[in-house]
A = this chain, B = another copy of it.
């Protein structure tokens, strides 16, 4: 089935304890689309870039089955630019530069085909823009909608954010955000509270520590895979969401059992992502590598009851 991905495309300059990269291609929608492209060849991308964005990068996405009809290329403008430096722990980071550029003018317009996407992944953007996307979806189609967001919007636009949250099937956030949104410290209690806001699935990302899935009174946990090399955590959360939603689009039925596997596939894609800077590693994997890592994940947590 088809997947709609909405969010930023950007240039990133990244400084980690393990290296540096200057002005490489990034952005949530880029990571989401690359990761999802390993599971579905029917992706509709909606984003905005300036005319400085490399045509070659767009071609590579097209070659992966990503329909860029919904990508606005603003002539004479610059793409969104972000620069950050990670701390020694590779988790916390300082933002050095945020140049919104074209992102300040982003007004997502969905092509007709995109409106019919059965699966929708709303990357982390202003809740009002996420709302605009939701309002354009074809009401004749039964959509499965997942969204990402961040504490920034909880502080600045809580009312609009809650309205968007009330309309989605799955919320994908980190543990701090889940705690802030729910006012509960216990993630079990946070999940119950968040279900009362609308979503039926809550996915809590914990970076290198893995990810939780909550649904009804059930829970599931996918560990973070310990890796010999971690060079750049940028985009890992988006890659996780992209792998997850890509795999769900492939399966078609977003029930708890399928969601469990989808979260494992999301974790697999994120584990590839962080091994290199930016989207580099996401371009170089293949089916066998994904299957090999699936078995590593399976063995990592497998134990016999007696």
List residues of A whose CB falls within 8 A of some B CB. Answer: 17-18, 90, 185-189, 206, 209-210, 212, 219-223, 226-230, 257, 260-261, 264, 294-295, 298-305
Q: Is the CB of A264 within 8 A of B303?
A: yes
The residue that A220 contacts in the complex, of B210, B295, B303, with Cβ under 8 A, is B303
For this chain, the copies found in one complex come to 2
Chain B residues near A257 (CB-CB < 8 A):
304
A128 to B209, CA, bound (A): 34
Q: Is the CB of B303 within 8 A of A261?
A: yes
Q: Is the CB of B227 within 8 A of A186?
A: yes
Give min CB distance, A134 to chain B, whole Å. 30
A selection of 15 A-B contacts at a CB cut-off of 8 Å is A185-B230, A186-B226, A187-B226, A209-B210, A219-B300, A221-B226, A221-B301, A222-B301, A223-B223, A223-B301, A257-B304, A261-B303, A295-B305, A298-B305, A301-B301
A188 to B206, CA, bound (A): 19
Chain B residues near A298 (CB-CB < 8 A):
303, 305
Chain B residues near A261 (CB-CB < 8 A):
303-304
A264 to B304, CA, bound (A): 10
Chain B residues near A223 (CB-CB < 8 A):
210, 221, 223, 301
Q: Is the CB of A188 within 8 A of B227?
A: yes
Chain B residues near A302 (CB-CB < 8 A):
301
Q: Is the CB of A300 within 8 A of B185?
A: no
Chain B residues near A294 (CB-CB < 8 A):
305
Known: A17-B185, A209-B206, A298-B303. A226 touches B230 (CB 8 A): no
A220 to B300, CA, bound (A): 5
Chain B residues near A185 (CB-CB < 8 A):
17-18, 90, 230
Chain B residues near A228 (CB-CB < 8 A):
186, 188-189
Give min CB distance, A88 to chain B, whole Å. 8
Known: A17-B185, A206-B209. A303 touches B226 (CB 8 A): no
A221 to B300, CA, bound (A): 6
A226 to B221, CA, bound (A): 10
Chain B residues near A220 (CB-CB < 8 A):
299-301, 303
A264 to B302, CA, bound (A): 11
Give min CB distance, A268 to chain B, whole Å. 12
Chain B residues near A230 (CB-CB < 8 A):
185-186
Given A222-B301, A261-B303, 12 further pairs, Cβ under 8 A = A18-B185, A186-B227, A187-B226, A188-B228, A209-B209, A210-B223, A219-B226, A220-B299, A221-B300, A223-B301, A294-B305, A301-B301
